[in-house]
């Protein structure tokens, strides 16, 4: 059975790009661009891994990650931040919020797939 990856990015183009890389890597993916619908989508889709952008309106990825990791129902799902915010302090802050991995944009398909394969 294919592992399911939830892709969350406010850019539809970015969601589609990531989904194409995941498909090439043999994964099934679900993409959303509204960060307020993450929990609802997790409950419906039961993903194995979440790829989460940081810079989004309404709820940024750091907030989402912290909230997911603080809830027992979601805390065991690996979260990989996929973001243009790639300074050492951004990476550190992501770790502090509970992120399991970090992929800096722009990334290659191999970088993304290697990060996902660590947890899927």
Q: For the purposes of burial, counting CB atoms within 10 Å of the CB of 34, is it exposed (0-12), middle (13-18) or buried (19 or more)?
A: middle
Q: Identify the segments of the chain with pLDDT beneath 70.
A: 1
> Count of domains in the chain?
1
Task: Give me the CATH number covering residue 19.
Answer: 3.40.50.2300
The pLDDT of residue 86 is 86
Contacting residues for 90 by C-beta, under 8 A, at least 6 apart: 54, 83
The pLDDT of residue 101 is 97
The pLDDT of residue 2 is 80
* Nearest-5° Cα angle at 49, 76 to 96: 60
The pLDDT of residue 119 is 93
CA distances from 110 to 6, 21, 24, 36, 119 (A): 18, 9, 10, 29, 15
The pLDDT of residue 69 is 98
Rounded distance between C-alpha atoms, residue 80 and residue 52, angstroms: 6
Contacting residues for 99 by C-beta, under 8 A, at least 6 apart: 52, 65, 79, 80, 81
Rounded distance between C-alpha atoms, residue 73 and residue 76, angstroms: 8
The pLDDT of residue 62 is 96
The domain in which residue 67 lies consists of: 4-117
């Amino acid at each position: 059975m294919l592992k399911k990856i939830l892709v969350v990015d406010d850019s539809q183009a970015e969601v589609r790009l990531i989904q194409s890389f995941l498909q090439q890597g043999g994964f099934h993916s679900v993409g959303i661009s509204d960060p307020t619908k993450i929990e609802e989508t997790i409950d419906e889709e039961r993903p194995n891994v979440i790829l989460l952008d940081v810079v989004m309106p309404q709820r940024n990825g750091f907030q989402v990650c912290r909230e997911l990791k603080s809830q027992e129902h979601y805390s065991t799902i690996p979260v990989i931040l996929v973001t243009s915010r790639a300074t050492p302090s951004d990476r550190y802050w992501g770790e502090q919020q509970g992120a399991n991995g970090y992929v800096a944009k722009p990334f290659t398909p191999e970088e993304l797939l290697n990060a996902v394969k660590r947890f899927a």
